């Protein structure tokens, strides 16, 4: 057997998402039989001390403090972008133009214009065999991938209604310090881009359709926050004072799919008691599906063709080797966790690179989600209701 080609990975960013991605890069080649191998070549970040500590902790061979230098390195074939949204476009476009495969965290960018630049660069790079993908990891939850197959095979009939929610509570305390995630110039938006992007993509992925229009409302409950407490933003104010929150704390909106189904969405960082509650419900003419990420190995399925005496939602434990991605893991009944979704994501990305095919979701898919988010924002800002995507 010929030896698999080895691709060096260069990751830009080393905080929460960088740690999760590092885990997935370390694991993917051990769990799955891949057409290519990967090496954790370099991790990048502006703080040399912090990035060195991250490299030592997560197993990266070297560090860089300038992403441009990281991209220029001949030993790096894949660039993984885990930075705040305001840097996605510049890093991704430069990497694609340099012939590097790119995987970029969601949302794709902070604006539609930036996402359009990225999608155009990705399309051009694809003609040269350079691949790119947006990191919507919830697509890789086995239960949601299985739900997609049920919808595609007609098990729920004609789509009627989708309900999607993503609830967190990490900003309920008004004394929580200001971070980049609460600044429009860095993050683009708040709950809308951070977590609503996930449920928009997940809903579209499972039902196999895209939103054609939306109407929504954004709300900021706490308009200013302290600049202390390790926020990383205190230096400009001498370590004291407060700063303005310039993004939304919560987003609620409804939409219509291109083929006619309707949907409601809720994303909030102010759902007291909820830590990371992502839920999706799908109802059709002959069946229904319910998913709760807090029980991520389960899918609730209602089969409308069953006799009345057998009615009701039934629990499907999605741990069989015939379920999506499960062939690589443990015996039936042994659940997976959050980190596995990223391993699955990288598996699909590397298979596409090895096979010379375009991975999904593409930058064009990321652009479409960005347009949905922009339409929600426009609807809220203008108060004019329905906005076409």
Question: Whole-model pTM?
Answer: 0.95
Q: Do the beta carbons of residue 178 and residue 215 sit within 8 Å?
A: no
C-beta atoms surrounding 293 within 10 Å: 19
As given in the structure block, the two tokens for residue 93 are 């476009």
**DSSP of 346-384, one letter per residue?**
HHHHHHHHHHT---SS-HHHHHHHHHHHHHHHHHHHH--
Write out pLDDT tens, residues 337-385.
999 999 999 999 999 999 999 999 999 999 999 999 999 999 999 998 9
Residue whose entry in the numeric block shows the structure tokens 């929504």? 216
49 HSE (CA, 13 A, CB side): 0
Q: CA-to-CA distance for 60 and 42, rounded, in angstroms?
A: 6
CATH number for domain 6-137, candidates 1.20.1740.10, 3.40.50.720, 1.10.40.50, 3.40.50.1100? 3.40.50.720
Write out pLDDT tens, residues 180-220.
999 999 999 999 999 999 999 999 999 999 999 999 999 99
Cis-peptide, bond into residue 361, ω within 30° of zero: yes
The pLDDT of residue 240: 65
| Higher pLDDT, residue 308 or 127 | 127
Average pLDDT over residues 138-167: 98
Average pLDDT over residues 72-80: 98
Average pLDDT over residues 252-264: 98
Domain ranges of the chain: 6-137, 141-334+368-382
Q: CA-to-CA distance for 57 and 75, rounded, in angstroms?
A: 21
Q: CA-to-CA distance for 338 and 336, rounded, in angstroms?
A: 7
Q: How confident is the model at residue 314 (pLDDT cuts 50, 70, 90)?
A: very high
Q: Do the beta carbons of residue 224 and residue 242 sit within 8 Å?
A: yes
Q: Do the beta carbons of residue 37 and residue 353 sit within 8 Å?
A: no
Write out pLDDT tens, residues 110-123.
999 999 999 999 99
> If you average pLDDT over every residue of the chain, what do you get?
95
Average pLDDT over residues 87-96: 98
Residue 233 scores a pLDDT above 60: no
Residue 230 scores a pLDDT above 90: no
* SS3 at position 256: strand
Q: Do the beta carbons of residue 24 and residue 345 sit within 8 Å?
A: yes
C-beta atoms surrounding 72 within 10 Å: 14
Residue 325 scores a pLDDT above 80: yes
Query: Tell me, which fold does domain 141-334+368-382 have in CATH?
Result: Dihydrodipicolinate Reductase; domain 2 (3.30.360)
Percent of the chain topping pLDDT 70:
96
Q: How confident is the model at residue 237 (pLDDT cuts 50, 70, 90)?
A: very low
């Amino acid at each position: 057997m010929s030896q698999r080609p080895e691709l060096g990975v260069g990751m830009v960013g080393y905080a929460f998402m960088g740690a999760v991605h590092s885990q997935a890069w370390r694991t993917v080649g051990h769990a799955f039989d891949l057409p290519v191998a990967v090496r954790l070549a370099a991790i990048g970040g502006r703080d040399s001390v912090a990035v060195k500590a991250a490299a030592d902790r997560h197993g990266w061979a070297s560090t860089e403090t300038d992403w441009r230098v990281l991209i220029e390195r001949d030993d790096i074939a894949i660039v993984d972008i885990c930075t705040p949204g305001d840097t996605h476009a510049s890093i991704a476009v430069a990497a694609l133009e340099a012939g590097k495969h790119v995987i970029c965290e969601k949302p794709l960018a902070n604006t539609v214009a930036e996402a359009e630049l990225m999608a155009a660069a990705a399309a051009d790079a694809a003609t040269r065999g350079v691949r790119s993908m947006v990191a919507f990891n919830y697509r890789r939850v086995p239960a949601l991938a299985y739900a997609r197959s049920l919808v595609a095979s007609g098990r729920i009939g004609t789509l009627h209604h989708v309900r999607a929610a993503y609830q967190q509570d990490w900003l309920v305390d008004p004394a929580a310090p200001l971070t980049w995630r609460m600044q429009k110039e860095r993050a683009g938006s708040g709950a809308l881009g951070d977590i609503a992007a996930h449920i928009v993509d997940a809903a579209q992925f499972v039902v196999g359709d895209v939103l054609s229009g939306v109407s929504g409302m954004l709300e900021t409950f706490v308009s200013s926050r302290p600049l202390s407490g390790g926020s990383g933003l205190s230096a400009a104010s001498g370590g004291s004072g407060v700063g303005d929150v310039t993004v939304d704390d919560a987003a609620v909106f409804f939409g219509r799919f291109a083929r006619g189904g309707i949907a409601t969405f809720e994303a909030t960082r102010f759902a007291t008691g909820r830590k990371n509650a992502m839920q999706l419900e799908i109802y059709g003419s002959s069946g229904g599906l319910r998913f709760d990420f807090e029980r991520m190995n389960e899918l609730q399925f209602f089969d409308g063709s069953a006799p009345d005496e057998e009615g009701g939602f039934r629990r499907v434990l999605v741990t069989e080797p015939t379920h999506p991605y499960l062939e690589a893991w443990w015996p039936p009944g042994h659940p997976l966790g959050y980190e596995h979704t990223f391993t699955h994501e990288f598996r699909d990305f590397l298979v596409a690179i090895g096979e010379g095919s375009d991975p999904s979701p593409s930058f064009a898919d990321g652009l479409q989600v960005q347009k949905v988010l922009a339409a929600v924002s426009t609807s809220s800002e203008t108060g004019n209701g329905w906005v076409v995507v």
